[in-house]
Structure 1
Amino acid sequence: MVLFSLPKLKAIICLYSSYAEIFPQCSSMQAVWHHIHSLLPLRDAARVACVSHSFRRSWRCFPNLSLTRETLGLKGGVDGISSKIALDLAKRTEHILKNHSGVGVKALKLEIREFPFFSTSRDDLNRWLGIAVRPGIEELYLQLYSSHADVYNFPCTLLLDGSGKSIRHLHLGECAFRPTAGVGFLRSLTSLELYDVHITGDELMCLLSSSVALEKLTLVYCHELIFLEIPSLLQRLSHLVVHDCLNLEVIKNKAPYLYSFEYSGALVRLLLGVSLQNLDIDASGWDVIHYAGAKLPCMVPNLEALNIHSSYVRDILVVPGKFLHLQHLCIGAFTPDYDYLSLVSFLDACPSLETFILSAEPDCMEQESGLGYSFHDLRKMPGHMHRNIKDVQIIGFCSAKSMVELTCHILENSKLLKCLKLSTCYNGEILCSYNNNGKCLPMSRGMMMEAHKALLAVERYILGKVPSTSS
């Protein structure tokens, strides 16, 4: 297959569009023009259709309809979008879909701002979806943005009569989705994303029970979910993402080959299955570090990568089991008084660990500084060897005594250590500016003072322990 850059593709179209007009009877040539036309972005495809009868016919069957503020050239900020932009978006969407035959659509991306205001009614939206959602469609993306309490009910009947059998990717945002039992209309579905969607656990189970090809499931702000069960018939499901579903109490996975799970939110009961190898938990209001140490070694014995973040942690950490296969560990401890040396227990429970990343808030500067202590005053944890650790990063490094002690411990007990990176900037991005001027944000006086203290702590306690072969 030959791939062309967009400028070259436009040049080819300009060169040969007249040729297509001269020889309209050549069906194979028309198929070539139709394919070339389908590779263009929406706005360019529309422009070409305005100057060529051949491409005008092709436009009525254009396969990739991405009708969003960006693709339609409506400038304006994402937040606080004006009523004029919302109205223009609805008008342009109406014009494009009204002139489309509905035949040949492979992907529909529909974004509706300030629904149901500014001339976009439920009847309009149902009609637009009815034009494009037909047998053969593979991707459906519907995102509503509304501050109105009245919720749009996605018409599940659109997915019947073969229209849903070909859909591989489905994204729904800010609507209600109410699939019923016995409706097997999404058998080709590989990716399902529900953002702020009204759907119960039973309704989701009805959908999942027929989606045997599903590979990735994403649930965000789905507050009607209380009990989430992943059925065992999802043999291909490998990735599960659940974020901030406020009323969720239990997540029970029966899918036999689930590989990766990403969760954020309050404490829930987790039953994940032994196949899991990658786990990411961002906790709110519960001590996920202690939870991980106490529960996960027996729950997910094959875990290879663990990423946990908690704003509530205790100092005493004892890990009774072993993460025998864990190679990558990232811990975010966001409390100003946390005893970072206690993490040695976690490291000791990971005999295969190669990469360790610790992310701390700048508030660790509130802890007792280690600068007033001698080497003999620093605590040590004898008998803990970390034989496979090669790469260690501490993001948000400060002069706190417990953090200095942890760093010294790692240097003294990790004989294969190749790289130790200490960054005083939280997440490495706190000073980066998103403005076009390219300037960085100024540091506060407190952060500047703590950065100097951290540098002094490195020079006084850490540099002398770094082997000459380490970086």
Structure 2
Amino acid sequence: MQDILRHIHAQMTLRDAARAACASHTFRHSWICRPNLTFSRETLGLYSNNASGDVVTRDIISKIDQILQNRSGIGVKTLKFDLLCCDNIDFSYLDSWLHIAVTPGIEEVILNLPLPTMSVYNFPCSLLSNGSGNSIQYLDLSRCALRPTVGLGCLRSLTRLHLFCVRITGDELWCLLSNSSALVRLELWYCNEIISLKIPSLQRFRSLDVVECNSLQVVESNSPNLSKFYFSGLLGQISLGGSLQVKNLSMICSYQANIVWYARNNLLYIAPNVETLAISSPSETVNTPMLSGKFLHLRHLEISLVGMAAYDYLSLVSFLDASPHLEKFMLAHRMEHDSILGGPPHDLRQIPEQRYDKLKNVKISGFCSAKSLVELTCHILENTTSLDCLTLDTTWYPRCSVTKSGKCYPLMDRDSLVEAQKALVAIRRYVVGKVPSMVKLNVLEPCSRCHTIEPLV
């Protein structure tokens, strides 16, 4: 019966568990040994919107200090501090709380701090060397400094490491990773002190996310079983050790041009066996080259183009030609172009005949009247024997049917609405007649509920 009551008490929210411990001797012992501690404004019951930042910080410090000073510090499995609402907190409290709660046997440590105003909190690495590091499986730190050294103890249980706005250098991160042989997933967000990211040979390592680490110039992984790599930021030198296991690769670049060109030229060397590939580029000033190398395992390709430079969409045939097993192709674009309408009838360019025998689903978002985009669409229709569905969406933004507000957001401006009408004309004139009877054609127009649409004269 005691075990059942302890389990029930552990499932309560922090506030309810504390109240139960005050009201019942039966629950007092389980409160002292409560395994999961989550400290935030919500869990501590501090909901007042009128309180000043200093008052909220004072109340949070008081409650956390009282709770931790009156418990054994033994048996904590999960420790989470969500202190984002604290404007100014004395770091000595943080040190005291962590030393009380981070003891051998702890599995998860999550520390979410506010943006530093004066100084940055230095996470005490000694906590990872006193035996506690042996049991930690998940370490999540935000807006602090982490300075591990060569003498750091073994983090033999650490499987996931998430660092957000953490001050740590590439060499310091190497020290941490070198002691984490069980690591499976690494996530680095806005860690701007890292110039060179080098990952040692970790046999269990599977997933790497690198997001907007603005000083980063080199990414090098020697882990043989890396299977997922998500990169967002400025591309530099990337080496995945010739890994044959990378199956899922994303390259999202908002401030660097010609990422599609880069991918076609380099990805066969970086991840030759990729199966799912997502590329985002703000602009392409050069066409995608036709090369002999093949992505023999690529099945899902997503390309997003969001810049203002004109581009020959037909050159994307290079990716289709290089991917004999491609099943799904998604293209999203929002770039300037020369319309196929407004002049004499155009002869569409022809590319030497290709056959795409596996391609089943094609979707183009932001479909417009660009001549090269119409040519790409017609090329796919004429050379794909396996196509089941073609979706041409003349809009770019999420529709009211999927947004929480129930409205399309943001609304399309007048020029975009005019272009959408031109796209519909181009579809009727050049595309519809080429759609085989067994292919389902979905043409999506701007939402008439949220937009005033005037048909072209």
Query: Which of 183, 200, 225 is the matching residue for 1:257?
Result: 225
Which residue of 2 is the match for residue 462 of structure 1? 431
Shift of residue 142, structure 1, vs aligned partner: 0.5
The structure 1 residue matched to 2:193, chosen from 209, 224, 245, is 224
Aligned pairs for 1:181-330 within 5 A: 181-232=150-201, 234-272=202-240, 273-274=242-243, 275-283=245-253, 284-320=255-291, 321-330=293-302
Give the Cα–Cα distance (whole angstroms) in 2 for the partners of residues 201 and 168 of structure 1: 22
Match of 1:456, SS? helix
Distance 2:54 2:366 in 1: 43
Aligned residue pair count: 432
Distance across 1 between alignment mates of 2:421 and 2:66: 61
Matches within 5 A, 1:26-37: 29-37=1-9
| Separation in 2, partners of 1:419, 1:339 | 24
- Matching residue of 2:394: 424
Describe how 1:126-205 pairs up with structure 2 within 5 A. Answer: 126-205=95-174
Q: Take 1:426 and 1:49, find their aligned partners in 2: how far apart are those partners?
A: 54
**Structure 2: distance between partners of 1:456 and 1:148:** 56
Could you tell which deviates more after superposition, 411-420 or 42-51?
42-51
Q: What is the correspondence of 1:364-443 to structure 2 with a 5 Å cutoff?
A: 364=335, 366-372=336-342, 376-426=346-396, 428=398, 433-435=403-405, 438-441=406-409, 442-443=411-412
SS across alignment from 1:377: coil
Name the SS of the counterpart of 1:426 in structure 2.
coil
Counterpart-to-counterpart distance in 1, 2:9 and 2:73: 16
Offset of residue 378 of structure 1:
2.2
Could you tell me the TM-score, scaled by structure 1's length?
0.86
Provide the rounded CA distance (Å) in 2 between the counterparts of 1:183 and 1:367. 56
Q: Which segment is superposed worse, 214-223 or 281-290?
A: 281-290
Q: 1:42 aligns with which of 8, 11, 14?
A: 14
Q: Contact 2:128/2:152 (CA < 8 Å) preserved in 1?
A: no
Where structure 2 has 5 or more consecutive residues not aligned to the other structure, the ranges are: 441-457
Q: CA deviation at 1:163?
A: 1.3
User: Retained in 2: the 8 A contact 1:280–1:308?
Assistant: yes
Distance in 2, matches of 1:285 and 1:195, equals 23
In the other structure, the counterpart of 2:321 is 348
Partner of 1:339: 312
Deviation at 1:97, TM superposition (A): 2.5
Q: In structure 2, the residue corresponding to 1:347 is in which secondary structure?
A: helix
Q: After the TM superposition, which segments of 4 or more aligned residues of structure 1 sit over 6 Å from their partners?
A: none
- Taking structure 1 as reference, are residues 122 and 82 closer, same or farther at Cα in structure 2, changes over 3 Å only? closer
The question of whether the paired residues in 1 share the 8 Å contact of 2:219 and 2:239 is answered with: yes
Q: Once the two structures are superposed, what CA deviation does each residue of 1:365-393 show, in whole Å capped at 9, x if it has no partner?
A: x4222233666522222323222111111
Q: Does 1:105 align with 2:76?
A: yes
Q: Secondary structure at the match of 1:240?
A: strand
Written as runs of structure 1 = structure 2, the 5 A alignment for 1:78-89 is 82-89=53-60
Structure 2 partner of 1:92: 63
- Report the Cα offset of residue 285 of structure 1: 1.6
Query: Residues 108 and 140 of structure 1 are in contact (CA less than 8 Å); yes or no, is this contact kept in structure 2?
Result: yes
Counterpart of 1:450 in structure 2 is 419
C-alpha distance in 2, partners of 1:417/1:153?
A: 56
- Secondary structure, counterpart of 2:391 in structure 1: strand
Contact 1:375 1:461 in 2 (8 A): no
Offset from partner CA, 1:265-305 (integer Å, 9 cap, x none)? 11210001322111101123242111111111133211111
Question: How high is the TM-score relative to the length of structure 2?
Answer: 0.88
453-462 vs 130-139, greater mean Cα deviation: 453-462
In structure 1, distance between residues paired with 2:179 and 2:110: 20
Distance in 2 of aligned mates of 1:418 and 1:43: 54
| Superposition deviation, residue 73 in structure 1 | 4.4
Q: CA deviation at 1:312?
A: 2.7
Root-mean-square deviation over aligned CA pairs:
2.2
For 1:67, give the aligned amino acid. F
Question: Secondary structure at the residue paired with 1:171?
Answer: strand
Indicate the SS of the match to 2:219. Answer: strand
1:463 shift after superposition = 1.8
- The SS at the match of 1:428 is coil
Q: CA distance change for structure 1 residues 158 and 381 in 2, over 3 Å: closer, same or farther?
A: same
For 1:39 and 1:69, how far apart are their aligned partners in 2? 19
Deviations 1:112-149 (A, max 9, x none): 236671xx211101111112101111000001112414
Contiguous gaps of at least 5 residues in structure 1: 1-28
* 2:83 partner SS: strand
Instruction: State the SS of the aligned residue for 2:301.
Output: strand
Amino acid at match of 1:346: F
Q: Is 1:360 the counterpart of 2:330 in the alignment?
A: no
Do the aligned residues in 2 keep the contact of 1:184 with 1:207 (CA within 8 Å)?
no
**Richer in helix (by share):** 1
Secondary structure of 2:150 counterpart:
coil
Shift of 1:53: 2.2
Return the alpha-carbon distance in structure 2 between the equivalents of residues 423 and 268 of structure 1: 34
CA contact (8 A) 1:215 1:239 kept: yes
Paired with 1:87 and 1:385, the residues of 2 have a C-alpha distance of 69
Instruction: Give the Å deviation of 1:83.
Output: 4.8
The letter of the residue matching 2:204 is R
| Partner amino acid, structure 2, of 1:134 | T
Tell me the distance in 1 between the aligned counterparts of 2:345 and 2:383: 16
The alignment partner of 1:197 has SS state of coil
Q: Check conservation: 1:209, 1:231, Cα contact below 8 A.
A: yes
Q: How far apart, CA to CA, are the structure 2 residues paired with 1:160 and 1:238? A: 25
User: In 1, are the aligned partners of 2:39 and 2:80 still within 8 Å (CA)?
Assistant: yes
More moved, 376-385 vs 289-298:
376-385
Deviation at 1:416, TM superposition (A): 0.3
Please list the CA deviations of residues 228-247 of structure 1 after superposition, one character each: whole Å capped at 9, or x if unmatched: 11111x10000011111111
Letter in 2 for 1:329: L
